[in-house]
Structure 1
Amino acid sequence: MTSPLTYSAEAHNGRTKIILAGRVFVPPKLAEEFLDEIQATYPIAEANPGNLLIAFSLEDPEIGSLTAIEQWESQEALDEHLATPEVSKLYAKWLPLMRNEVRQFGIVDESPMTYTTGR
């Protein structure tokens, strides 16, 4: 399975990182089940050397909203993850039940966040 949104790493010498961030909505009574199943895929993501971060959390159980954040070294690493049998099966089960508001961002340049006191 390939991601519905792609960003061309070739245009940036292959240095583009992929960030996925947003919300997923499932029927409220199924939110905990969805979270358990998605978290069960963490070891698969973490075994992929291109995975830098994956985290889902239950935001509002009353409306079935979850927050998602993922970071990948490349589009290829993300596509490899999505193509695993476990992740493919998970999405086949849940896509008809979810409203997916997760967005994909291509990051060409990054730097640490700095804090200032404003003084």
Structure 2
Amino acid sequence: MTLIIAGVVRAPPENLEAFRPHMLAMLAASRAEEGCLEYAYAEDVADPGLIRVFEVWRDQAALDAHFQTPHMVEWRSHWPQFGVSDRRLFAYEIASERPL
């Protein structure tokens, strides 16, 4: 069953430019993983420092493998340096999809 991960993390707006290379590295490594169908971050234009997270995984096994990757460990190691906080992510199990 396909999983969508959606939610937010927050970083001080003044840290985002320095944090951006780490976000790009995480995106590239995650998108290259087996079972990753989509992986994206977006800054909320109405709330500076709020980063919206959107991921699509083939199944729970692919997501579980993602959590064990070296780039995930490295990604999380950068959070304190850049003031990342307020992580609120949710998993949604998707049985089907259709275009709107």
Q: TM-score range by the shorter chain?
A: 0.7 to 0.9
As a proportion of its length, which structure holds more strand?
2
Deviation track 1:5-34 (CA, whole Å, cap 9, x = no partner) reads: xxxxxxxxxxx1111112211122112333
- Counterparts of 1:58 and 1:102 in 2: how far apart (Å)? 15
Write out the 4+ residue segments of structure 1 that deviate beyond 2 Å after TM superposition: 31-36, 60-63
Computing the radius of gyration over CA atoms, which structure comes out larger, 1 or 2? 1
Q: Which runs of 5+ in 2 are unaligned?
A: none
Indicate the residue corresponding to 1:6 in structure 2: none
Task: String of CA shifts for 1:33-67, please: whole Å, max 9, x gaps.
Answer: 33431221222222222000001011148641111
Percent of pairs identical after alignment? 26
Higher percent of residues as helix: 2
Q: Which runs of 5+ in 1 are unaligned?
A: 1-15, 115-119
Question: Where does residue 99 of structure 2 map in the other structure?
Answer: 113
TM-score of the aligned structures, taking structure 1 as reference length: 0.69
Count residues with an aligned counterpart: 98
Shift in CA distance, 30/69, structure 1 to aligned 2, threshold 3 Å: same
- Superposed CA RMSD in Å reads 2.1
| Larger RCO (CA within 8 A; separation ≥ 6) | 2
